[in-house]
Amino acid sequence: MENRTSEIALIHKAQAQNLKKEKTRQDFWVAVMWLFGLITVSILVLVVGYILLEGVKAINWEFLTTSPKGGLSGEGGISTTIGTTFYLVSLTLLVATPLGVGAAIFLIEYAGEQSLSSKFLRSLIGVANFAVETLAGIPSIIFGLFGYALFVSTLKLGFSLLSAALAGACLVLPTIIRTTEEALLTVPDDYRRGSLALGATKWQTLYKVVLPASTPGIITGIILSVGRVISETAIFYVTLGGSYRMPTSVLDGGRTLALHLYYLAMDTRAFDKAMGTGAVLVVMIILINLLIDLVSRKLTTGVRKVR
Amino acid sequence: MNNSKLETINYSLYYGNYRALKEINIKIPENKVTALIGPSGCGKSTFLRSFNRMNDLIAGVRTEGKVLIDGEDILKTDPVALRQNVGMVFQKPNPFPKSIFDNVAYGPRVTGLKDRQKLEEIVERSLRSAALWDEVKDNLGKSGLDLSGGQQQRLCIARALAVEPTVILMDEPAASLDPIATLKIEELIHELSVNYTIVIVTHNMQQAGRVSDYTAFFYTDETRTGQLVEFDDTKTIFTNPHDRRTEDYITGRFG
């Protein structure tokens, strides 16, 4: 008995020593993580801050409301590029949203039961899923190249809003499909069963229960796509052309903000204007991210309530 | 026994090659509460879902024999129409993420009713029948998800009643509720049995004894194939069962 007691005392002593060592070790690594975190945040703040501070000097009402002069001077404002960006975003999403949401609904809600009936369909759906996965990782210039080959030259749509929107739709399609799929998957099966058990058809179940419950997720996908279209350059460089004028039809070319920034930085000496354009772009992206944050917070509270 | 509302004849069910239910013959009387009891995995929930064809939604399910409702083969009715006649309440309360009103009005709307006044009548009547009206009448716009678990389950019962079914299937409706909420559900089941044929699956034998008029005991052997061992009025099952296995289960020797 005596022996056992002293043995336990020894164990406790060793445990206390070890705990002290582990505490020191923990403090060290927490400090390291803090440092890494701070470095990352400072880099972000530095980039965004620099662009904003430099850009603000070029930004004034005139800059925002006059069109670029064109040519090598880089003089003028950015009004038409804001307009073009707006048109392109709208047109792209007009094409991509129904396609993407529809594809996701098919893949999640219908493909499963379809694939039971036939081996061919099953493999086709496998291919579709793989394609979505792969498309998401393809560099945007590839979509640009494809868009140039198909829409600009073969279909003779030229450098135009339409060509760019169709190529842009291909680019954002995987994003919309994936986010919609995620949203549909978070809808509990209890809802579907509950609705079907009340004598609703599958379609009624889908549009009365499942889609409303997944709307915040779908909207998140759409907003993400807006951000993507605003910030992409390469794909629109080869499909939208570079006209600095305001497009008056979908067959006119144009210049998005990001594209304008690219031209300013590469072809002109108007570096201050490039900074100004960059600042406008950064502000837009920040606003979009805030919007996503807001919508997805709504989504997660919805899910939490489900229990 | 009175008229049988539901009946199965040599009914077997397979998940792929695995037989989950074997040759079940039962006549479930109209406007009575029938409890399905038995150990876990004996197929009683699967059997319950046979009456509203919810098993159709599960991949690889195949059936043999017949299920009749009012003497008619349910395979000959459209599953959507069948489910309007045979309501269901699930183990976990599953109100939609909609208002209380919209939850109850869901069924009638799905069947094409648009008249607001009629909908309001139905919602009130259904909530009253489900003994929930007094608790929610001032908050019909509140989300169904904000109710307590027991209230949610009564909301789900009201939602089922709103479609005017004649049969209500309940799959362990009180399994996730506290004792007081359970008691309320049990009282409700008792009241509803005047107008509805109720089939309830339960793990809780006291509950079966309290709420049901008839009890069916399901059992499964090593093959894991569920079969109906004994079906009789609840009193007989609990006091004087014919089968040894029923007696063992009732007295708590296994299960």
What string of DSSP letters covers B64-84?
EEEEEETTEEGGGS-HHHHHH
> Which of B61, B80, B92, B103 to substitute to test the interface with A, most A CBs within 10 Å?
B80
Residues of chain B neighbouring A304 (CB-CB closer than 8 A): none
Interface membership of A198 toward B (CB under 8 Å): yes
Q: What is the pLDDT of residue A295?
A: 82
Q: Tell me which of A113, A114, A117, A198 to substitute to probe the interface with B (most B C-beta atoms closer than 10 Å).
A: A198
Residue B254 has pLDDT above 60, yes or no: yes
A202, closest residue in chain B (CA to CA) = B80
- Interface A-B: count of C-beta contacts within 8 A: 76
* Residue in A41, A92, A70, A43 with CA at minimum distance from that of residue A231: A92
With cut-offs at 50, 70 and 90, classify the pLDDT of residue A301: low
Closest-CA residue of B relative to A303 is: B97
pLDDT at A185 over 80: yes
Residue B247 or residue B104, greater confidence: B104
Q: Is A253 helix (H, G, I), strand (E, B) or coil?
A: coil
Q: Residue A23 pLDDT more than 90?
A: yes
Lowest-pLDDT choice from A297-306, B137-146, B174-183: A297-306
Residue in chain A closest to B169 (alpha carbons) equals A197
Q: What is the mean pLDDT of chain A?
A: 89
Query: What pLDDT, on the 0 to 100 scale, is given for residue B94?
Result: 95
pLDDT value, residue A304: 44
* Element housing B170 (H / E): strand B167-171
Confidence of residue A226 (pLDDT cuts 50, 70, 90): very high
Give residue-wise pLDDT tens across range A44-80.
Answer: 999 999 999 999 988 888 888 888 887 777 788 888 9
Contact residues, chain B, for A302 at CB < 8 Å: 97
Whether the Cβ atoms of residue B111 and residue B164 lie closer than 8 Å to each other: no
Q: Which residue of A has its CA nearest to B54?
A: A197
Q: What is the mean pLDDT of residues A263-282?
A: 89
What Cα–Cα distance (Å) separates residue A75 from each residue in A66, A89, A272? 10, 25, 10
| Mean pLDDT calculated for residue range A245-273 | 88
* Facing residue for B110 by CB, picked from A191, A193, A204: A204
Q: Does domain A61-306 have CATH number 1.10.3720.10?
A: yes
Closest CA to B86 of B111, B50, B121: B50
Q: B141 by DSSP, 3-state: which?
A: coil
The DSSP 8-state label assigned to residue A271 in this structure reads H
Neighbours of B145 (CB within 10 A): 20
- For the four alpha carbons of A118, A122, A123 and A128, in that order, the dihedral sign comes to positive
Interface contact A121, partner B, CB < 8 A: no
Which chain A residue's Cα is nearest to B158? Answer: A198
Above 50 in pLDDT, residue A303?
no
Residue whose pair of structure tokens reads 């070029």 in the numeric block: A58
A200–B81: do the CB atoms touch at under 8 Å?
no
How big is the CA angle at B239 (ends B236 and B244), to the nearest 5 degrees? Answer: 90
- Percentage of chain A modeled with pLDDT above 90: 62
- Using DSSP's 3-state secondary structure scheme, residue A275 falls into helix
C-alpha dihedral over B48, B49, B50, B53, to 10 degrees?
150
| Shortest Cα distance, chain A CAs vs residue B162, angstroms | 9
A137 touches chain B (CB under 8 A): no
Decide if A129 touches B, using CB distance below 8 A. Answer: no
> Nearest-CA residue of chain B relative to A209?
B96
Q: How large is the ipTM?
A: 0.91
Taking residues B249-255, report their average pLDDT.
74
Tens-digit pLDDT profile for residues B189-238: 999 999 999 999 998 888 999 999 999 999 987 788 899 999 999 999 99
> Which pLDDT band, with edges at 50, 70 and 90, does B101 fall under?
very high
Beta-carbon separation of A198 and B52 below 8 A: no
Res A306: pLDDT: 41
| Residue B129 reports pLDDT greater than 80 | yes
Q: Which of residues 279-298 of A touch B (CB under 8 A)?
A: none
Using the structure block, give the residue that is written with the tokens 């009005």: B105
Q: Which residue has the higher pLDDT, A218 or A111?
A: A218
Averaged pLDDT for residues A282-297: 87
Q: What is the pLDDT of residues A113-171, one digit of tens each?
A: 766 667 788 888 888 888 888 888 899 999 999 999 999 999 999 999 999 999 999 99
Tell me the shortest Cα–Cα distance from A118 to chain B, in angstroms.
13
List phi, psi (to 5°) of B35.
-100, 140
Is the CB of A306 inside 8 Å of chain B's CB atoms?
A: yes
Contact B110 A209 (CB under 8 A): no
Q: Are A73 and A86 in contact (CB under 8 A)?
A: no
Contact B214, B208 (CB under 8 A): no
Q: What is the pLDDT of residues B42-64, one digit of tens each?
A: 899 999 999 999 998 888 899 99
- CB–CB of A197 and B145 under 8 A? no
Q: Is A190 on the interface with B (CB under 8 A)?
A: yes
> Considering chain B, what is the average pLDDT of its residues?
92
Residues of A in contact with B143 (CB under 8 A): 305
Quick: pLDDT tens for A235-251: 999 999 888 888 888 88
3-state helix, strand, coil in chain A (%, to 5): 80, 0, 20
